[in-house]
A and B are shown apart, each in its own frame.
Chain A
């Protein structure tokens, strides 16, 4: 019996990403945000999650992908981290997928830049590649 894991998946700029389901606290639709002046541009702002103040990180900016269109409202994938909940802003939410660990591959060489550091593994699914993100690394921003 090989190990299998569940991933919460989402799309960013057409790419298919996943985060281990256990790390995900919840997925919520777009929330109004308060921007934080002087903060790194990766941080889109602060949202009020039922009385809890949560930092929202724009994954497009974090992964150095082109900016989202003005009319396109991002979704929040709220993940649990060592420093409390953090929201990751993504384009669109996918399904929760269960994957056998043996389809796991190393990140392809074509994956470059920041993405290479944040993607811990790649799973080859039928239609597409799933890029799995390391949440702790993703929410740790080096001095901007």
Chain B
């Protein structure tokens, strides 16, 4: 009656779970021991973990795991017996030994066999610890004995009855008095119940008592249940919708009850899939210890909110990203002890992991008190690696700069270290987190440390979503990406939506947001394929009156999505799309609406990329385009403006950081310089009209608002005050130099009109000679034909 295959598989699965938990406990207790906080029970717990693995592996026919476990068990048994005390090197070796067991178990899980890795050196070390330190110990290690020649069982009062009894074993049993409770030769009795109840440490307390009120449930079973509940929610939605038209009170009541029960059931089932985040944090003390030891740093790990529950799918998905962030924080964030001392900080760095629920999301923060992110260096690296153009880098805010570390191909490490230089970058971390609908953001303060904030939806299967309509098709937008809704009436739309970079933008409280039109991006209607003019959503219709903008956030950046109609917010059940749709990244899945019809769920990040509204992507493609176009045909994208009566001028759009409007009342004076407060900084203003010929005092026109072109160079900005912004054009221009001088580079015919090209550098230089001082020769050049 051999174990049948199915049972064998099941038992191996159990062994994997049991051993993984056990080895985590092993690590935890080892660290307790290392800190000198161990109790007698600590070593017992550690020993039992290995003992159990050995016994079970043996019975399941896993000889390699069994024999490796055996060697460690010997050493641990000796330690436990008090014949040997632990040393730091021993603990390091034992932790490595636990990793070896993990590796074999992983192999078993992934390939079905124990793997071929050679652990003889590690095992030799363990044996050396045992023999080297206590050569005369009575528990001197026997090399794992060959089971074949061994006696496997026996009865104490009938030793001879056992087949193939090697006498040696029986003889080794010392004669003992008959009476319990103890023999002179026996070690002190193990701690008994009463003693344990008080002393029990966390590790020991997580026993596997069968009578525990918790049971193990197959994850597949839970997933099935979750799917069924999903179906039930859909059916409920349909019925509730139907009820809205119903008259029958009994039916309405029943429907109401169904509604409530379904909601409760849904919550209940979702709760069964929840696990505390502490489950994955449990391994971090070990990670932090190993990494800081390797780097010669001293780090204290603080964990807050271990009990915060997450859906198990999410737990799985964030395990690796979190580990990477933690390693990174120690490697790149926290300084060496001497550097910390020099900076007036305690030598021991602090790494805080914090988890909490907020607004239907799980927030996870990883904070270190290291030196923070060096903005200048991050920018420089990003430019060197060609990830952003120098111009873009210069005009980035600190926050935008921090997020550069998430770009593919970015790594601030001067040298690739063993710790974080593993070929996985923060970009992978970001991708993985975004895959599960989460977002990641980084904040940093020079000298004080960095914080990485991760936000993740509580559960994946059922999410709140905003339903929108475009061309009478419904789409669901996950609420996590949603920032706000804006409705512009026709006249507002005309003013509010501008064209910039050849694409529509909307100015939301001073911030320029790129706009994407859902109709156009999804090619919903052939006639809508041309970019809609500002202020119209629908080139054909009379309903062109108002514009509905859904302000979304993807990748830490914001953009506006123009849709025909904004409907309701609903709880939707996310269903994956079939393989036939793999190539389309605009959709995150599909769902069934209350009326039984299918609606697609928008993938906000994918859509943003598709529409080219995410800055990096967009800036890069634009820069490339300008470059190639420039070479090929001298086409340039130019900003057209005037500086008063007849003063029609242009500058290359690539020199424009932003376009802003400031009320005149906001202008202040700093000495003789006009300034405004802008994004937390002082922005000096230069009235262009004062520096170019033939335009004196022209800026007095216009109302209360001043039109300002913000120009940035090497982190410094200046505002060029102009009369009005007129247009952005892409044209091939031929510059006539004869008109050059007095703040003018030359002139060209643009849109059939003679237009002067502003010499930005000259104007700034004459207004503020110190502006370019920092980097001689870095003045911008206008490409001229």
Q: Do chains A and B touch in the complex (CB under 8 A)?
A: yes
Judge if B473 is at the interface, Cβ distance under 8 Å.
Answer: yes
Which B residues, 15 to 69, have Cβ-Cβ distances below 8 Å to chain A? none
**Choice from A35, A43, A48 contacting B580 with Cβ under 8 Å:** A43
Which A residues, 44 to 98, have Cβ-Cβ distances below 8 Å to chain B? 45-48, 51, 53, 55, 57, 83-84, 86
Given A45-B598, A48-B592, A86-B578, 7 further pairs, Cβ under 8 A: A36-B581, A37-B523, A38-B523, A48-B597, A51-B235, A83-B578, A84-B578
B524 contacts which chain A residues (CB < 8 A)?
Answer: 37
CB of A50 to closest CB in B, whole Å: 8
CB of A54 to closest CB in B, whole Å: 8
CB 8 Å contact bits of A102-144 with B (1 = contact, 0 = none)? 0000000000000000000000000000000000000111011
**Is the beta-carbon distance between A37 and B580 smaller than 8 angstroms?**
no
In the complex, which residue of chain B has the Cβ closest to the Cβ of A84? B578
**Is the beta-carbon distance between A38 and B522 smaller than 8 angstroms?**
yes
**Is the beta-carbon distance between B580 and A51 smaller than 8 angstroms?**
no
CB of A77 to closest CB in B, whole Å: 16
CB 8 Å contact bits of A23-35 with B (1 = contact, 0 = none)? 0000000001111
**Is the beta-carbon distance between A55 and B578 smaller than 8 angstroms?**
yes
CB 8 Å contact bits of B565-603 with A (1 = contact, 0 = none)? 000000000010111110110110010100011111000
Number of inter-chain CB pairs below 8 Å: 64
**Is the beta-carbon distance between A57 and B580 smaller than 8 angstroms?**
yes
In angstroms, Cα B580 to Cα A38, docked, is 12
CB of B451 to closest CB in A, whole Å: 38
- Count B interface residues, CB 8 Å: 25
CB of B704 to closest CB in A, whole Å: 44
CB 8 Å contact bits of B425-457 with A (1 = contact, 0 = none)? 000000000000000000000000000000000
**Is the beta-carbon distance between B586 and A40 smaller than 8 angstroms?**
no
**Is the beta-carbon distance between A39 and B598 smaller than 8 angstroms?**
no
B546 contacts which chain A residues (CB < 8 A)?
Answer: none
Judge if B231 is at the interface, Cβ distance under 8 Å.
Answer: yes
**Is the beta-carbon distance between A37 and B522 smaller than 8 angstroms?**
yes
B329 contacts which chain A residues (CB < 8 A)?
Answer: none
**Is the beta-carbon distance between A34 and B586 smaller than 8 angstroms?**
no
**Is the beta-carbon distance between B575 and A53 smaller than 8 angstroms?**
yes
In angstroms, Cα B523 to Cα A39, docked, is 11
CB of B471 to closest CB in A, whole Å: 9
Which B residues, 183 to 236, have Cβ-Cβ distances below 8 Å to chain A? 230-231, 234-235
In the complex, which residue of chain A has the Cβ closest to the Cβ of B576? A53
**Is the beta-carbon distance between B598 and A47 smaller than 8 angstroms?**
yes
B579 contacts which chain A residues (CB < 8 A)?
Answer: 83, 140
**Choice from A40, A46, A86, A140 contacting B598 with Cβ under 8 Å:** A46
In the complex, which residue of chain B has the Cβ closest to the Cβ of A47? B598
**Is the beta-carbon distance between A53 and B592 smaller than 8 angstroms?**
yes
**Is the beta-carbon distance between A53 and B590 smaller than 8 angstroms?**
yes
In angstroms, Cα B600 to Cα A84, docked, is 18
**Choice from A36, A55, A57, A144 contacting B587 with Cβ under 8 Å:** A36
In the complex, which residue of chain A has the Cβ closest to the Cβ of B591? A53
In angstroms, Cα B578 to Cα A39, docked, is 12
Across the A-B interface, the 3 shortest Cβ-Cβ residue pairs: A37-B522, A34-B598, A46-B598
In the complex, which residue of chain A has the Cβ closest to the Cβ of B228? A51
Q: A34-B597, A37-B524, A38-B584 in contact; A51/B592 too (CB < 8 A)?
A: yes
CB of B620 to closest CB in A, whole Å: 23
In angstroms, Cα B235 to Cα A86, docked, is 22
B592 contacts which chain A residues (CB < 8 A)?
Answer: 48, 51, 53
Give me 19 A-to-B residue pairs in the complex whose CB atoms sit less than 8 angstroms apart, sorted by A's number.
Answer: A34-B597, A35-B473, A36-B581, A36-B584, A36-B587, A37-B586, A37-B600, A38-B586, A39-B584, A43-B581, A46-B600, A48-B592, A48-B597, A53-B592, A53-B598, A55-B581, A141-B580, A143-B583, A144-B583
In angstroms, Cα B592 to Cα A143, docked, is 27
In angstroms, Cα B584 to Cα A53, docked, is 17
**Is the beta-carbon distance between A40 and B580 smaller than 8 angstroms?**
yes
A40 contacts which chain B residues (CB < 8 A)?
Answer: 580
A46 contacts which chain B residues (CB < 8 A)?
Answer: 590, 598, 600
B583 contacts which chain A residues (CB < 8 A)?
Answer: 143-144
In angstroms, Cα B600 to Cα A140, docked, is 21
B473 contacts which chain A residues (CB < 8 A)?
Answer: 34-35, 37
CB of B597 to closest CB in A, whole Å: 6
Interface centre among A38, A143, A144 (most CB of B within 10 A): A38
In the complex, which residue of chain A has the Cβ closest to the Cβ of B230? A51
CB of B53 to closest CB in A, whole Å: 37
**Is the beta-carbon distance between B234 and A51 smaller than 8 angstroms?**
yes
CB of A53 to closest CB in B, whole Å: 5
CB of B700 to closest CB in A, whole Å: 51
In angstroms, Cα B600 to Cα A107, docked, is 39
A32 contacts which chain B residues (CB < 8 A)?
Answer: 597
CB of B508 to closest CB in A, whole Å: 27
In the complex, which residue of chain B has the Cβ closest to the Cβ of A57? B580
A57 contacts which chain B residues (CB < 8 A)?
Answer: 580
CB of B236 to closest CB in A, whole Å: 11
B599 contacts which chain A residues (CB < 8 A)?
Answer: 34
B523 contacts which chain A residues (CB < 8 A)?
Answer: 37-38
**Is the beta-carbon distance between A34 and B600 smaller than 8 angstroms?**
yes
B597 contacts which chain A residues (CB < 8 A)?
Answer: 32, 34, 48
In angstroms, Cα B592 to Cα A39, docked, is 19
In angstroms, Cα B657 to Cα A18, docked, is 63
In angstroms, Cα B592 to Cα A33, docked, is 12
**Is the beta-carbon distance between A48 and B578 smaller than 8 angstroms?**
no
Which B residues, 224 to 257, have Cβ-Cβ distances below 8 Å to chain A? 230-231, 234-235
CB of A41 to closest CB in B, whole Å: 12
CB of A103 to closest CB in B, whole Å: 33
In the complex, which residue of chain A has the Cβ closest to the Cβ of B232? A51
In angstroms, Cα B599 to Cα A32, docked, is 12
CB of A115 to closest CB in B, whole Å: 19
In the complex, which residue of chain B has the Cβ closest to the Cβ of A51? B231
In the complex, which residue of chain A has the Cβ closest to the Cβ of B587? A36
A141 contacts which chain B residues (CB < 8 A)?
Answer: 580
In angstroms, Cα B597 to Cα A41, docked, is 20
In angstroms, Cα B602 to Cα A37, docked, is 11
In the complex, which residue of chain A has the Cβ closest to the Cβ of B475? A37
A35 contacts which chain B residues (CB < 8 A)?
Answer: 473
A33 contacts which chain B residues (CB < 8 A)?
Answer: 598
**Is the beta-carbon distance between A39 and B596 smaller than 8 angstroms?**
no
In angstroms, Cα B598 to Cα A32, docked, is 9
A43 contacts which chain B residues (CB < 8 A)?
Answer: 580-581
A139 contacts which chain B residues (CB < 8 A)?
Answer: 580
In the complex, which residue of chain A has the Cβ closest to the Cβ of B583? A143
In angstroms, Cα B599 to Cα A87, docked, is 17
A37 contacts which chain B residues (CB < 8 A)?
Answer: 473, 522-524, 586, 600
In angstroms, Cα B593 to Cα A51, docked, is 10
**Is the beta-carbon distance between A39 and B575 smaller than 8 angstroms?**
no
**Is the beta-carbon distance between A39 and B235 smaller than 8 angstroms?**
no
Which B residues, 298 to 332, have Cβ-Cβ distances below 8 Å to chain A? none
B596 contacts which chain A residues (CB < 8 A)?
Answer: 48
In angstroms, Cα B580 to Cα A57, docked, is 10
B231 contacts which chain A residues (CB < 8 A)?
Answer: 51
In angstroms, Cα B583 to Cα A39, docked, is 8
In angstroms, Cα B578 to Cα A143, docked, is 14
CB of A44 to closest CB in B, whole Å: 11
In the complex, which residue of chain A has the Cβ closest to the Cβ of B227? A51
In the complex, which residue of chain B has the Cβ closest to the Cβ of A42? B580
Q: A32-B597, A36-B600, A48-B598 in contact; A55/B522 too (CB < 8 A)?
A: no
A38 contacts which chain B residues (CB < 8 A)?
Answer: 522-523, 584, 586
